[in-house]
A and B are shown apart, each in its own frame.
Chain A
Amino acid sequence: MVTDAIRKGANMTAPAIELRGVSRRFRGATALDDVQLEVMPGIVGLLGPNGAGKTTLLRILATVLGADGGSVRILGRDPADAVERTEIRRRLGYLPQELQYPRGFTTYRFVDYMAVLKEIEEPAARRAEVRRVLEDVDLRDRAAKSIRTLSGGQRRRVGLAQALLGSPELLVLDEPTTGLDPEQRVALRTVLAERGRASTVLIATHQTEDVAALCEHVVVLDRGSVSFQGTVAALVREAQGRVWLADTADPRAQVSWRTATGRYRNLGEAPAEAELVEPTLEDAYLLLRGATESEAVAA
């Protein structure tokens, strides 16, 4: 469980996020259904297939979407109350899954504009802060460029830069590494790892490598409900003894695929003679998905 999370720093002992029975529907479609979640400070990965409700959950945590039912507490405050919502927003950095930029802004001007919206008013402090976050995402040399002229990955990093402004207590990032090249991804990991020492970082992603490299804890969403929450190590442990290599795709496996070496990686209940290998987080995630899928079919 996430409750046994890392405890560093002074205000790192209370849960940053507490959701009880949270649901959210969109015209008939249920995006979140009775979600129970407690997130302690640190870096937490949020995994789940397309349409699982990750973005919906993160939008609720970013206070831009309300829940239909259940109780939401973010940094000990209730986002339904206007005053407390503003208090949450003062401590929040948010990168949405899809972020567009107003026309005519340069990189610097947009981040500066967001810095003003985040109440960093003193001009010198704001300048320094904008430079710092642009440095963090390696966009200093693009500061004067119009955002329109940036590449997709660079535009993504502008979004990341604004999320990092003011070193927020809670960072909510929806697929931050989408479109980033490997070097940038690694650089971002360094920045986020640093942030995770003093605050809560919640990252929704499809990149299990990012979760494995960064996160101590992981939450898996499936059809609007939490199907796993705990440490990354605990999730990987569940796959122990269930991943093996073979020369063919094993019909007993839940999933198998041909790897670059020409051999097949099989996931599932391993036969006795199987050549077992160390599972990765991706293996564990796929096995978990397989299990929930078959439960759903049985139901």
Chain B
Amino acid sequence: MPAARSPLVPLAWIEAKRFARHPLFLTGFVLALVFSGGEYGPAELDHQFVPAFFVGLFGLVVAARLTASTRRSEAVVDAAPVSETTRTAALCAACLVPAAAALIVVVFFRLVLAIFYDPRPAYSYGVFTTGERYVILLVLPVIACLGAPLLGVAVGRWLRFPGAPLLVAVALFVWGMLAGYRPSQMGASTWPARILHMLTPYTAWIEHNGSGDLWVPTVVRSLTGSPAWFAVWTLALCALAACAALLHGAEGRVRRAVVRASCVAGAVAVTSLTLAVVTGYSVTHDSSSEGTVVSDSRTPLPPHP
């Protein structure tokens, strides 16, 4: 039998197809499109939550299930020449499917806004530059939808108790919610709050006094941190999740390589997290039709008139 070519590519294709066909993934994908198409979002920068939740968190559970599913046949799978590390790498590659799905969702959302709705008032983007807007709207959701499924692969490899994927998905959700939104209410401009606001795989960038379909916000509060360095930090988290998954069952040379890669990813993570905190916005700003002012984040936003 030929062993020259790597089985990684055909295996990744198989896993990608399994991912793309998984009912939970398809459900999340369709829901994300529905929530991107039908609603006149009050503040565009809030939309990133939709793919991160429906494609990312759902994808975490899907990836964990796919990873654990072949354990039922481990007696024959383990007796095959292709190593567990290669099989894990194929599953990691398949996480490009939800990442691509997230890209479709965010592009679809942009198109819907561009075609059917008037441009948003400039103040609804807060203090963020055009480049930062695109990072928040187009890049961060894709990274979130890559990282959460990668974490799912690691969960599938390491945690064998039933319900583990759901538990980790809920934990990730709670972490993102607490770190993303709470710091702004406990003094976003203090160091602990600024660190906490970035020390998360997912974070909020604005708060506003709008509400769903009902009314457009009059005040938008931009939170602290640097979107660009946050993107690098979350990419490093993706790499760490992949390394954690690959470490399972790795031996010898491969194991050492994975450990080395984890060290590099860890160093990048620490550096980019530091830069996200230090180089980003250090105070919150409130923007409205009258202009932008530095705000005290402990004061609640004014109610919608």
Residues A120 and B75 in contact, CB atoms below 8 Å apart:
no
Q: Flag whether A15 is at the interface (Cβ < 8 A).
A: no
Given contacts A89-B81, A116-B14, contact A102 B70 (CB under 8 A): yes
Nearest CB to that of A63 among chain B residues? B79
Contact among B7, B73, B75, B83 with A121 in the assembled complex (CB-CB below 8 Å): B7
Q: Chain B residues near A99 (CB, 8 Å)?
A: 73, 75-76
Nearest CB to that of A174 among chain B residues? B75
Q: Chain B residues near A113 (CB, 8 Å)?
A: 14, 70
Q: Flag whether B133 is at the interface (Cβ < 8 A).
A: no
Chain B 1-17 interface residues, beta-carbon cutoff 8 Å to A: 1-3, 5-7, 9-11, 14
Nearest CB to that of B254 among chain A residues? A82
Interface-central residue, A101, A117, A159, A163, by most chain B CB under 10 Å: A117
Residues A112 and B14 in contact, CB atoms below 8 Å apart:
yes
Chain B 249-279 interface residues, beta-carbon cutoff 8 Å to A: 251-252
Nearest CB to that of B10 among chain A residues? A116
Q: Flag whether A122 is at the interface (Cβ < 8 A).
A: yes
**A101 to B12 Cα, complex, angstroms:** 19
Residues B80 and A118 in contact, CB atoms below 8 Å apart:
yes
Q: Flag whether B289 is at the interface (Cβ < 8 A).
A: no
**A118 to B5 Cα, complex, angstroms:** 12
Residues A82 and B75 in contact, CB atoms below 8 Å apart:
no
Contact among B2, B7, B22, B78 with A64 in the assembled complex (CB-CB below 8 Å): B78
Nearest CB to that of B11 among chain A residues? A116
Nearest CB to that of B90 among chain A residues? A116
Nearest CB to that of B9 among chain A residues? A121
**A89 to B80 Cα, complex, angstroms:** 5
Counting chain A residues whose Cβ lies within 8 A of the other chain, the interface size class is 35 or more
**A123 to B70 Cα, complex, angstroms:** 22
Q: Flag whether A100 is at the interface (Cβ < 8 A).
A: yes
Residues B73 and A102 in contact, CB atoms below 8 Å apart:
yes
Count of A-B contacts judged by CB separation below 8 Å: 87
Given contacts A122-B2, A123-B10, contact A114 B69 (CB under 8 A): no
**A113 to B6 Cα, complex, angstroms:** 14
Q: Flag whether B182 is at the interface (Cβ < 8 A).
A: no
Q: Flag whether B77 is at the interface (Cβ < 8 A).
A: yes
Residues A121 and B5 in contact, CB atoms below 8 Å apart:
yes
Chain A 95-133 interface residues, beta-carbon cutoff 8 Å to B: 95-96, 98-104, 109-110, 112-114, 116-123, 126
Residues B1 and A117 in contact, CB atoms below 8 Å apart:
no
Residues A119 and B3 in contact, CB atoms below 8 Å apart:
yes
**A102 to B72 Cα, complex, angstroms:** 6
Residues B76 and A162 in contact, CB atoms below 8 Å apart:
yes
Contact among B72, B77, B81 with A119 in the assembled complex (CB-CB below 8 Å): B81
Residues B80 and A114 in contact, CB atoms below 8 Å apart:
yes
Given contacts A99-B75, A101-B73, A104-B69, contact A118 B1 (CB under 8 A): yes
Q: Chain A residues near B11 (CB, 8 Å)?
A: 116-117
Q: Chain A residues near B75 (CB, 8 Å)?
A: 59, 62, 64, 94, 96, 98-99
**A113 to B69 Cα, complex, angstroms:** 13
Nearest CB to that of A98 among chain B residues? B75
Contact mask B1-42 → A, CB, 8 Å, 1/0? 111011101110010001000100000000000000000000
Contact among A64, A82, A89, A163 with B251 in the assembled complex (CB-CB below 8 Å): A82
Interface-central residue, B1, B18, B72, B76, by most chain A CB under 10 Å: B76
**A156 to B3 Cα, complex, angstroms:** 28
**A94 to B252 Cα, complex, angstroms:** 25
Closest-CB distance, A12 to chain B (whole angstroms): 19
**A95 to B73 Cα, complex, angstroms:** 11
Q: Flag whether B87 is at the interface (Cβ < 8 A).
A: yes
Chain A 238-289 interface residues, beta-carbon cutoff 8 Å to B: none
| New A-B contacts (11) at CB < 8 Å, excluding given A116-B14, A117-B87 | A64-B78, A89-B81, A94-B76, A94-B79, A100-B72, A113-B14, A114-B76, A116-B7, A117-B11, A118-B82, A119-B1
Interface pairs A-B: 6 shortest CB-CB: A117-B80, A102-B69, A96-B75, A89-B81, A100-B72, A94-B79
